[in-house]
Amino acid sequence: MTAKTERIALGTVLVVAAALWGWALNRPLQPYYAAAVHSMSHDVAAFFFAGFDPAGVVTVDKPPLAFWTQTLGVAVFGFHTWAIALVQVVEGVAAVFVLHLVVRRWAGPRTALLASALFALTPITAAINRDNLPDTLLVLLLLLAAYCVTRAIEDDARWLVWAGVFVGLGFLTKMLAAWIVLPGLAMAYFVAAPGSRGRRLAWIGVGGGVTLVVSLAWPVVVTLWPGAKPFVGSTTDGSVWQLAFGYNGVTRLVGGSTGIGGGYGAAVGAALGGGEGPLRLFDAEVGGQIAWLLPLALVSLVVAACRARGAAPGTRAGWVLWGGWLVAGAAVFSFTGGIFHAYYTAELAPAIASLAAAGLVTAWRWQRSPGPVRFVLPAAVAGTALLAFLLLSRTPGWLPWLRYTVLALAVLAVVAALLRAPRAVVVTGLAAVVAGPAAFVVDTALRPVSVLETADPGAGPPSTDAVRTVVGIDTGAGAEAGYVRFIDDAYRLSPGQREVLAYAQAQAPGSVLAVEGGTYGADPFLLNTDARVAPLGGYIGFDPAPSAADLPRWVSAGKLRFVLLPHVFLEIGRGAAKPVVADAGELTRRIGWEATHCRPVPPARIGPDAVSAGVLFDCGVRP
Q: Are residues 520 and 414 in the same domain?
A: no
In this structure, is residue 452 part of a structural domain? no
In this structure, is residue 309 part of a structural domain? yes
Q: Are residues 20 and 139 in the same domain?
A: yes
pTM: predicted TM-score of the whole model, two decimal places = 0.94
Mean pLDDT of 63-88: 97
What percent of the chain has pLDDT above 90?
A: 75
Q: What is the pLDDT of residue 478?
A: 47
What's the pLDDT band for 229 if we cut at 50, 70, 90? Answer: very high
What's the pLDDT band for 576 if we cut at 50, 70, 90? Answer: very low
> Beta strands 473-474 and 615-618: pairing type?
unpaired
Q: How far is the C-alpha of 493 from the C-alpha of 485, rounded, in Å?
A: 13
Q: Are residues 428 and 375 in the same domain?
A: yes
Q: What is the pLDDT of residue 421?
A: 87
Contact 173, 383 (CB under 8 A): no
Q: Are residues 13 and 102 in the same domain?
A: yes
Packing angle, helices 349-366 and 376-392, rounded to 10: 140
Given a cut of 90, is residue 481 above it in pLDDT?
no
- Distance, CA of 157 to chain centre: 32
Q: How far is the C-alpha of 548 from the C-alpha of 526, rounded, in Å?
A: 23
Q: Are residues 477 and 395 in the same domain?
A: no
Q: What is the pLDDT of residue 466?
A: 43
Q: Are residues 485 and 367 in the same domain?
A: no
Given a cut of 90, is residue 471 above it in pLDDT?
no
463: DSSP letter: P
Q: How far is the C-alpha of 125 from the C-alpha of 222, rounded, in Å?
A: 32
User: Torsions phi, psi of 616, nearest 5?
Assistant: -95, 120
* Partners of 600 in the β-ladder: 617
In this structure, is residue 57 part of a structural domain? no
Q: What is the pLDDT of residue 380?
A: 94
Q: Are residues 497 and 602 in the same domain?
A: yes
Query: Given 405, 429, 444, which residue is the final one in a domain?
Result: 444
Contact 487, 32 (CB under 8 A): no
Query: What would the pLDDT profile of 598-618 be if each residue is shown by its tens digit?
Result: 999 999 999 999 999 999 999
Residue type, 233: G
Given a cut of 50, is residue 545 above it in pLDDT?
yes
The count of domains in the chain is 2
Question: 475 or 221, which is more confident?
Answer: 221
Q: Are residues 425 and 489 in the same domain?
A: no
* Partners of 618 in the β-ladder: 562, 599
Describe the chain by its helix, strand, coil percentages, rounded to 5: 65, 5, 30
Q: How far is the C-alpha of 272 from the C-alpha of 347, rounded, in Å?
A: 17
Q: How far is the C-alpha of 341 from the C-alpha of 323, rounded, in Å?
A: 23
Packing angle, helices 135-154 and 182-192, rounded to 10: 10
In this structure, is residue 449 part of a structural domain? no
398: DSSP letter: S
Residue 429 neighbours by CB distance under 10 Å: 28
Query: What would the pLDDT profile of 291-325 be if each residue is shown by its tens digit?
Result: 999 999 999 999 888 877 777 888 899 999 999 99
Query: Given 429, 444, 459, which residue is the final one in a domain?
Result: 444
Q: Are residues 546 and 490 in the same domain?
A: yes
Given a cut of 90, is residue 520 above it in pLDDT?
no
What's the pLDDT band for 144 if we cut at 50, 70, 90? Answer: very high
Q: What is the pLDDT of residue 568?
A: 73
In this structure, is residue 84 part of a structural domain? yes
Question: 84 or 377, which is more confident?
Answer: 84
Element containing residue 473 per DSSP (H, E): strand 473-474
Residue 125's contacts (CB-CB under 8 Å, 6 or more residues apart) are 92, 119, 139, 346, 349
Give the end-to-end CA distance of the chain in Å, rounded to a whole number. Answer: 80
Residue 246 neighbours by CB distance under 10 Å: 22
Mean pLDDT of 471-485: 51
Given a cut of 60, is residue 571 above it in pLDDT?
no
Segments forming the whole domain that contains residue 585: 473-618
In this structure, is residue 70 part of a structural domain? no
Given a cut of 90, is residue 71 above it in pLDDT?
yes
Residue type, 595: A
Q: What is the pLDDT of residue 373?
A: 84
Residue 550's contacts (CB-CB under 8 Å, 6 or more residues apart) are 544
What's the pLDDT band for 475 if we cut at 50, 70, 90? Answer: very low
Given a cut of 90, is residue 485 above it in pLDDT?
no
Question: 124 or 303, which is more confident?
Answer: 124
Q: What is the pLDDT of residue 449?
A: 87
Q: What is the pLDDT of residue 419?
A: 87
Q: Are residues 427 and 497 in the same domain?
A: no
What's the pLDDT band for 467 if we cut at 50, 70, 90? Answer: very low
What's the pLDDT band for 465 if we cut at 50, 70, 90? Answer: very low
Given a cut of 70, is residue 574 above it in pLDDT?
no
Q: What is the pLDDT of residue 464?
A: 45
Among the listed ranges 114-123, 515-524, 535-544, 578-587, which one has the minimum average pLDDT value?
578-587
Given a cut of 80, is residue 97 above it in pLDDT?
yes
Among the listed ranges 5-9, 395-399, 575-579, 591-595, which one has the minimum average pLDDT value?
575-579
Residue type, 356: A
In this structure, is residue 92 part of a structural domain? yes
Q: Are residues 277 and 363 in the same domain?
A: yes
What's the pLDDT band for 368 if we cut at 50, 70, 90? Answer: confident
Q: Are residues 216 and 135 in the same domain?
A: yes
Select, from the ranges 2-6, 261-265, 327-331, 417-421, the one with the highest average predicted confidence (pLDDT): 327-331
Q: Cα 165–167–169 angle (5° rounding)?
A: 70
The most distant pair of C-alpha atoms in the chain lies apart, rounded to whole Å, by 90
Among the listed ranges 178-192, 202-216, 438-452, 477-491, which one has the minimum average pLDDT value?
477-491
In this structure, is residue 267 part of a structural domain? yes
